[in-house]
Amino acid sequence: MTTVEPCPADRHRTHGPRTLPVDAKRWPDVAAVPRASWPVRTVTEAVLNHALQRLPLRVRFADGVTLGLGGPLIEVRDPKGFYSRIGTHGLIGFGESYMAGEWDAPDLVGALTVLAAHAADLIPPRLQRLRGLWAQRQPGAQRNTPDGSRTNISRHYDLSNKLFALFLDETLTYSSAVFRGFPADWPLLPTAQHRKIDSLLDLAGVREGTRLLEIGTGWGELVLRAAARGAHVTSLTLSREQRALALNRVRQAGYAGRVAIELCDYREARGTYDAVVSVEMIEAVGAEFWPAYFHTLDERLVPGGRVALQAITMPHARMLASRDTHTWIQKYIFPGGLIPSTTAIEEAVRDHTRLVVTDRDGFGAHYAETLRLWRERFTDRADEVAALGFDETFRRLWTFYLAYSEAGFRSGYLDVQQYLLTKEDPAR
């Protein structure tokens, strides 16, 4: 460690532990700092400090000690809590430490982007090989069985339609947009979301008379665009809140005769369709059920039909390393979720369907911009979020989630793909 004099611009900052008011009943694991033993805390501090001092960051502790090669600032206000949580719960503890206010960053995305880009450097290779011994395992209660999926989906998507409306644009589209150029401005987001939706509908060949199945309704913008083309749409969702609002939007648009929105698991789908579209739903399926998911796409599609799939992806080696561990995102944002790799998707299609991967296009930079716009909107409307009954811990949780996700795409740790899957028609 090296003690340094604070930068002039930072002299006004107050250092020292800061405890945020945390509702212990709602956030028990955030309110209580883990009782990490002295050896655990000491080893954690040594390992982390060794890694941090070699990163393009500036990590400043409450006593004025600063580590790093320079770059985005991380202020550790409560080192004891910071090291105890990370030493006890790993990356889950890192996120909970932010929720508790034990550390902060003026440029949170910048700091998290550096950490994401150097994720492999944070833990020594010898300790990485022991990951299975210290990393938490995914809880069995979050398995994406039909009942488990309903619970998992409800925990995120049924929070409040009003909450999502505060930071999404008027289309209420909760997936990556496609922009013409960067940086993107908020007024351009609805058009960029329509551009994304239209590209998927074009990919699937949706037109007048098409029988379309959508797996994962969201708040209904895609079904509205498809119905406007003259398609007959069946859309499946497990979110009661989303279904209620989507149905209302369909009725107001005058498409009730062309659109059915069912509270239904993808495994319960029936019938056959000319096209299937699924936008960023595979991330909620879980590796155990990827075969069932892709089998459903195959079974529901007529010979000669087309599937348009949009999926967030991560590198295959990182997916394999993390697929059985419990993460902060799974604990607090998407229980039961797992981001696949392109390799995993293409192997599942090959091994469990008669479908063929015909085309794939990645556009991760567009997701980074989409998330930036959502995050800025969420921050600007923090008072309105609070007025809905969401406390400061929740707001820090969601700020971290949006910034963490944006950093994943900016660093290249994450990407997003549009796939075209086709099914040969033997009669042709």
- Residue-wise pLDDT tens digits, 183-197: 999 999 999 999 999
- DSSP one-letter string for 70-128: SSSEEEES-HHHHHHHHHHHHHHHHHHHHHTTSEE-TTHHHHHHHHHHTHHHHS-HHHH
- Determine how many CB atoms are found less than 10 A away from the CB of residue 215: 25
Distance CA 417, CA 359 (A): 10
**Exposed, middle or buried by CB within 10 Å (0-12, 13-18, 19+), for 96?**
buried
Would you state the pLDDT for residue 35? 86
Length of the chain: 428
Q: 116 is written with which tokens?
A: 């994401």
**Residue 394 DSSP SS3:** helix
**Which CA distances in Å does 43 have to 46, 65, 260, 334, 372?**
5, 18, 57, 31, 36
Structure tokens at 51: 């890694």
Q: Is the Cβ–Cβ distance between 10 and 105 less than 8 Å?
A: no
Q: Give the separation between CA 101 and CA 364, rounded to whole angstroms.
A: 30
Task: List the pLDDT tens digit at each of the 428 positions of the chain.
Answer: 343 334 333 333 334 455 678 999 999 999 998 888 888 888 889 999 999 999 999 999 999 999 999 999 999 999 999 999 999 998 999 999 999 999 999 999 999 999 999 877 666 665 555 445 556 677 778 899 999 999 999 999 999 999 999 999 999 999 999 999 999 999 999 999 999 999 999 999 999 999 999 999 999 999 999 999 999 999 999 999 999 999 999 999 999 999 999 999 999 999 999 999 999 999 999 999 999 999 999 999 999 999 999 999 999 999 998 888 899 999 999 999 999 999 999 999 999 999 999 999 999 999 999 999 999 999 999 999 999 999 999 999 999 999 999 999 999 999 999 999 999 888 77
Phi-psi region of 243 (alpha: psi -120 to 50; beta: other; left: phi over 0): alpha
Q: How high is the pLDDT of residue 135?
A: 61
Q: What ranges in 139-265 are assigned the alpha helix state H?
A: 146-157, 161-167, 189-204, 221-228, 240-253
pLDDT of residue 129: 52
Distance, CA of 258 to chain centre: 31
Confidence at residue 110, expressed as pLDDT on a 0 to 100 scale: 98
Give CA separation, 227 vs 71, 201, 212, 262, 357, in Å.
49, 11, 9, 16, 26
For CATH 3.40.50.150, the residue range(s) in the chain are 142-423
Pick the CATH number of 142-423 from 3.90.480.10, 3.40.50.150, 3.40.50.720, 1.10.3720.10: 3.40.50.150
The tokens describing 124, both together, are: 């020594």
| Omega within 30 of 0 (cis) for the link into 183 | yes
